[in-house]
């Protein structure tokens, strides 16, 4: 096990620190490939994500949602522009510091739950504590509160295959929030759940966001899921084309449809 030095606290990689902003993208561009086959997956995005707030990123397939999420989480590097996460300018961090930042300050929730099948639910929740270059200490009080709020106390001894999809996603949420991250990335977290279960899971996640003060960045195709967010960013062709505050699923759907129509009109006009 290597000893990763603490994340820099001297401000050396801090850009315009703001206590309420957990992630910030400034003029971010990500180009894949080069020459005639180059794809501008993200074509100049500036956006801030705040504590205690869930922001949904919506848009049609290929609009750059996943690429943007990977960039914000430091899993990919922008071609230009900057990403700041929890006060740290990602480009200035060494690989070890970035790994430590991810381990200590970020949480992840995936469509496919990503629980380890050989471990019980509780072992899955606690697994990240023991991973990474530095072990995380456990906050027992917060862990008990999460278990109670997510109503998973009765299934902690079960393995993932003995759990429903909704229960598995609640375990995954507990795992993502157990270390009180600054920001949680949720990638289509309701994609494998029925509508009612998806609603419950997102309601719990949004309540926990407010109470724990972290920020959530939710990537989704689903207007109903996005309606649980405090803010909606609509992407198209790698750009933010609309921003809404809290909105209902009908309005978000209309926004996405209008977007799709604009897009097809634009394609028709292209010679």
> Which of the stretches 61-69, 79-87, 141-149, 249-257 binds ligand ATP when contact is defined by CB under 6 A?
61-69
Toward ligand ATP, which CB reaches closer, 57 or 182? Answer: 57
Interaction of residue 97 with ligand ATP, rule CB under 6 A: no
Interaction of residue 29 with ligand ATP, rule CB under 6 A: no
Interaction of residue 120 with ligand ATP, rule CB under 6 A: no
Q: Which of 45, 53, 54, 63 binds ligand ATP (CB under 6 A)?
A: 63
Toward ligand ATP, which CB reaches closer, 188 or 230? Answer: 188
> Which of the stretches 6-14, 15-23, 31-39, 198-206 binds ligand ATP when contact is defined by CB under 6 A?
31-39
**H/E/C letters for each residue in the chain?**
CCCCCCCCCCCCCCCCCCCCEEEEEEEEEEEECCHHHCEEEEEEEEEEEECCCEEEEECCCCCCHHHHHHHHCCCCCCCEEEEEECCEEHHHCCHHHHHHHHHHHEEEEECCCCCCCCCCHHHHHHHHHHCCCCCCCCCHHHHHHHHHHCCCHHHCCCCHHHCCHHHHHHHHHHHHHCCCCCEEEEECCCCCCCHHHHHHHHHHHHHHHHHHCCEEEEECCCHHHHCCCCEEEEEECCEEEEEECCCCHHHHHHHHHHHHHHHHHHHHHCC
Interaction of residue 41 with ligand ATP, rule CB under 6 A: yes
Q: Which of 65, 105, 175, 231 binds ligand ATP (CB under 6 A)?
A: 65
Interaction of residue 64 with ligand ATP, rule CB under 6 A: yes
């Amino acid at each position: 096990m290597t000893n990763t030095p603490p994340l820099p606290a001297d401000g050396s990689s801090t850009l315009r620190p703001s206590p309420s902003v957990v992630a910030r993208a400034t003029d971010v561009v990500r180009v894949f490939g080069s020459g005639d086959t180059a794809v501008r997956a993200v074509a100049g995005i500036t956006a801030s994500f705040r504590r205690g707030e869930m922001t949904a990123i919506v848009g049609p397939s290929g609009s750059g949602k996943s690429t943007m999420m990977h960039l914000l989480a430091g899993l990919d590097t922008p071609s230009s522009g900057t990403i700041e996460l929890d006060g740290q300018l990602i480009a200035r961090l060494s690989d070890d510091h970035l790994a430590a930042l991810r381990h200590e300050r970020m949480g992840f929730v995936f469509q496919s739950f990503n629980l380890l099948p050989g471990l019980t639910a509780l072992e899955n929740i606690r697994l990240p504590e023991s991973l990474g270059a530095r072990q995380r200490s456990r906050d027992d009080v917060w862990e008990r509160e999460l278990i109670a709020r997510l109503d998973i106390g009765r299934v902690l001894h079960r393995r993932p295959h003995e759990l429903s999809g909704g229960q598995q996603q609640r375990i995954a949420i507990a795992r993502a929030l157990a270390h009180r991250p600054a920001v949680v990335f949720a990638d289509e977290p309701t994609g494998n759940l029925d509508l009612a279960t998806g609603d419950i899971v997102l309601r719990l996640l949004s309540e926990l966001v407010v109470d724990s003060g972290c920020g959530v960045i939710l990537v989704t195709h689903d207007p109903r899921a996005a309606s649980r967010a405090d803010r909606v960013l609509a992407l198209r062709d790698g750009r933010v084309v609309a921003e809404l505050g809290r909105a209902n699923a009908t309005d978000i759907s209309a926004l996405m449809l209008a977007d799709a129509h604009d897009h097809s009109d634009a394609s028709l006009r292209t010679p």
